[in-house]
A and B are shown apart, each in its own frame.
Chain A
Amino acid sequence: MEMDDATLERYARQVLVEEIGYDGQCAILQTPLRVTAPDGVWRDLVCRYLSAAGFPITVADGVDPALVVSGEKYRQEIPLGSDIGRLMMAVGQAITRVILSTASEK
């Protein structure tokens, strides 16, 4: 795949990160992920960040108090219920891991 100019500009700051690069961003754009979690602000947060990074996502209602991000090759689970700040930290790190492992498969 190739990114057009607008797509490249949109993800420019991610592409500039050495561990991602052009091919890594292309991999992200072609890696569908599923977010399973109870409806609410935290599921919305995870979806926002994954979509913004370029992943095609689908959303499913979860019953467990957890945020689950799953793809063909991996699964990340973040338990809900800690402090707001701690949960934001955990969600941020989990999404970074998803981005890095996707980009490294390029």
Chain B
Amino acid sequence: MYHVAVVGAGAIGNPVAFGLSQHWAIGRVTIIDADRVVLSNLARQPWFQTGDIGAYKAPLLVERVGGHQSVIKWQAITEMLREDNAGSLLADADLVIDATDNWETRLTIQDWARKWQRPWIFNSAVRLEGMSLGLIPGGPCLRCWFGTSQTEGPQCFEAGVLGSVTLAVAGQALTLFDQWVRNPRQPSGLWLVDGIEGKFRVISPKAMRCVHYGNG
């Protein structure tokens, strides 16, 4: 049984937590988010309601999604993941799912993952499009896939996004988790949600050696 840490309890974290709660291979889930619920979250973070405004997201999500379960051990952390606390907050995680909306935190997850040789799953959603990517130790990293300039891309608070797109992205993340459970050494492709065409696409795994991390 695996321990999965989810960084972010927002639009992607909500359905990821739901998916994990239904998954046979999960023994423990840790949800990390320092944010509180605001009104504009409700349209795409549907485990939160009007009465939750002002409350911390992580413990609410644990209560709503995992509260009635005895099989999975749920834990909520109301801190922001940073370089100096990643080691302790992620300590026992077998895999980390990125449900953040910023590149800085993703790179923090990745630095931790490379240091401890753990897999993680990158996710993002903007407008009607979404992406998911599984990153395994020794395979290409986020910088290999997207280049170093990507960190300046538009953030979802400016561009708008649909909750149904973030749900589809979370579904991709769960599918990539399944893939990793079946074969932890198989590199993942880049999975794309195209909400306009109503399609999914997969860009094949890159056959490249990472030059960004020493242990490669």
- Name A's B-contacting residues (CB within 8 A): 6, 9-20, 41, 45, 48-49, 51-54, 83-97, 99-100
Contact = CB atoms under 8 A, between A and B. Distances in A.
Residue of B43, B47, B161, B177 contacting most chain A CB atoms (<10 Å): B43
Interface of B: 15, 18-19, 22-23, 39-40, 42-47, 127-128, 156-178, 193, 195-196, 198, 200
Contacts of A86: 171, 175
Given A89-B200, A100-B195, A84 B19 contact: yes
Given A41-B18, A92-B170, A100-B128, 19 more contacts: A10-B40, A10-B42, A13-B161, A14-B43, A16-B159, A20-B162, A49-B163, A52-B43, A52-B45, A52-B163, A85-B175, A85-B178, A88-B174, A89-B175, A89-B200, A92-B165, A95-B164, A96-B128, A100-B195
Label chain B's interface by main secondary structure: helix
A100 B195 CA distance: 9
A56 to B, nearest CB: 14
6 contacts: A14-B44, A17-B161, A84-B178, A92-B167, A99-B162, A100-B196
B159 A88 contact: no
A67 B200 CA distance: 20
Contacts of B44: 13-14, 52
B58 to A, nearest CB: 19
A85 B164 contact: no
A92 B46 CA distance: 13
A11 B171 CA distance: 23
B40 A88 contact: no
Given A49-B163, A83-B178, A88 B43 contact: no
A52 B47 CA distance: 9
Contacts of B15: 88, 92
B162 A88 contact: no
Contacts of A99: 162, 164
Nearest to B16: A88
Contacts of A84: 19, 22-23, 171, 174, 178
Contacts of B164: 49, 53, 91-96, 99
B127 A18 contact: yes
Contact of B42 (A52, A83, A95, A100): A52
